[in-house]
Amino acid sequence: MRAHSRKAGRPTLRARLLTALSGHPDGTPAWVRALADGDDAGYFADGGAVWTVHAGTGSFVAGIRALLLQALHPGALAGVHDFSRYREDPIGRLTGTVRWIICVTYGSTAQAARETARVARLHERVQGTFDAADGPRAYSAGDADLVEWVHLAFTEAFLGAHERWGGPIPGGPDAYVREWAQAGRLMRLENPPLTETELHARMDGFLERGELRRDERVDEVVRFLRDVPFTGMMRLAYRVLFAAAVASLPARYRRLLGVRRTLLPAITTTRVILAVSARALASGPRAQDFARERLRRLAAAAQTHAGTTPAAR
């Protein structure tokens, strides 16, 4: 009887995943439920490139891959090092980022604007100095080159992970880059890339100009990301996902980060982990289900309005 009670009280895999991603065991905090509200369809279409990529469990690897890439810019890393609470509250830091991605991806334009404004308020205090190649340099989170690198790294990571572990992208990779450029504009990036080729060229530009580098702060982030304090099977699964993120990076970024591919079959094992995770998440509502509730409501209202116009009568 006691053994049965312990088993009944143990969080399910779905609950553990959703707690890590949203801070809520059902995946339905207030900001997720608010996806059902709003008066427009939002920036991205159901079934489009952005919805497809961000709904895939390959995004679990993409998040790690993006953080590794972002850490290579000393200005972006300075803001994380000086102001982020990722060491003390890694789950809270994760859910804060996930919240912005989900609200921009699935929310109405009003919800995307509110969420972007929330992030902007957090970034207002993020400023200081870092050691650039030519000496000390002042920075703030809103600097154009930092915003650009963060956007490029995010786009490359999510696109690359989906190409490795997801299915076809409607419209292809260029469609994802072009659509997600809107997120860059929301963060005041004036000229985001619009094609996969342009994305990689812009990233190569940061390398060629010597703006990316490895130092002790990068090593600290890599050590932390390699061993995020999950427990039990989540810990083991995460270690595999980290190895897969490293293995999936282009070799030039692995060399710059000072990381190597594992000899273990991380890419293949990750397919299994992501498939199990997808089945667990499919057993209950997800963020896009709330967004579709809004879309159905808007479609029904539009149909009713069309039926009452003079032309319809």
pLDDT tens figures, 228-252: 888 888 899 999 999 999 999 999 9
pLDDT band, very low/low/confident/very high, at 10 (cuts 50, 70, 90): low
Is the residue at 10 inside a domain?
A: no
Range 23-29 average pLDDT: 84
- pTM of whole model > 0.85? yes
- Please give the residue range of the domain that contains residue 227: 19-294
pLDDT at 311: 54
Is the residue at 42 inside a domain?
A: yes
Distance of alpha carbon 19 from alpha carbon 25, whole angstroms = 5
Percent of the chain with pLDDT over 70: 91
Is the residue at 4 inside a domain?
A: no
240's CB contacts (< 8 A; 6+ apart) are 266, 269, 270, 273
Is the residue at 304 inside a domain?
A: no
Is the residue at 313 inside a domain?
A: no
Is the residue at 270 inside a domain?
A: yes
pLDDT tens for each residue of 77-117: 888 877 666 666 566 667 788 999 999 999 999 999 999 99
Asked if the model's pLDDT at residue 137 lies above 70, the reply is: yes
Is the residue at 272 inside a domain?
A: yes
- Number of compact structural domains in the chain: 1
Is the residue at 135 inside a domain?
A: yes
SS (H, E, C) the chain: CHHHHHHHHCCCHHHHHHHHHHCCCCCCCHHHHHHHCCCCCCCCCCCCHHHHHHHCCCHHHHHHHHHHHHCCCHHHHHHHHHHCCCCCCHHHHHHHHHHHHHHHHHCCHHHHHHHHHHHHHHHCCCEEEEEECCEEEEEECCCHHHHHHHHHHHHHHHHHHHHHHCCCCCCCHHHHHHHHHHHHHHCCCCCCCCCHHHHHHHHHHHHHCCCCCCCHHHHHHHHHHHCCCCCHHHHHHHHHHHHHHHHHCCHHHHHHHCCCCCCCCHHHHHHHHHHHHHHHHCCCCCHHHHHHHHHHHHHHHHHHHHHCCCCCC
